[in-house]
Homo-oligomer: A and B are copies of this chain.
Amino acid sequence: MFYTVGEIAKKLNIPPSTLRYYDKEGLLPFVARTSGGIRMFSDRDFESLSVIECLKKTGMSIKDIKTFMDWCALGDSTIPDRLAMFRRQRDQVLSQIAQLQETLEILDYKEWYYETAQKAGTCQIHETLSPEDIPKRCRLIQQKLHPCPQEASKNS
């Protein structure tokens, strides 16, 4: 079963121009062509494209994905490189998740901050709040944000 660039693009839900760009950058050395020069994507190519999509979602650059594709083309001698790359990328994603979870705490704090301000009708409420009015998790974030804790927040 073969697909043209437009068909596979629809299956992957990305523009055909992007796939042509990837091909130009050397990310798709495996794609066959008709005698007339039309790209023919196979089901196997679909899997490779899915892996490319996965790597892109981890924030890997086109250049680094090309390096990986080059290793694939070089054969079994590059298996350790490819394994190392996936391990590195896995660690990378784990720290990205950890990073997002940290930012989530700040967003949670800000949500509490503005919920409280909304109830009071003004942000100034936060200058009159005593520590026991502030949930513990919010106090912790405030301390992280404030290098100078006794000063009340007026910006942002």
Residues of A with Cβ closer than 8 Å to B? 1, 11, 30, 43-48, 50-51, 54, 57-58, 69, 72, 76, 79-80, 82-83, 86-87, 89-90, 93-94, 96-97, 99-101, 103-104, 106-108, 110-111, 114-115, 117-118, 121-124, 144-148, 151, 153-156
Contact = CB atoms under 8 A, between A and B. Distances in A.
A83 B109 CA distance: 11
B90 A48 contact: no
Copies of this chain present: 2
B100 A44 contact: no
A106 B50 CA distance: 10
A104 B108 contact: no
Given A47-B146, A54-B106, A110-B51, A97 B86 contact: no
Contacts of A111: 83, 86-87, 90
Interface of A: prevailing SS: helix
Contacts of A147: 11, 43, 46-47
A54 B144 CA distance: 12
A44 B72 CA distance: 52
A51 B106 contact: yes
B155 A79 contact: no
A97 B100 contact: yes
A29 B30 CA distance: 52
Given A79-B123, A111-B86, A118-B80, A153 B100 contact: no
B106 A96 contact: no
Nearest to A123: B76
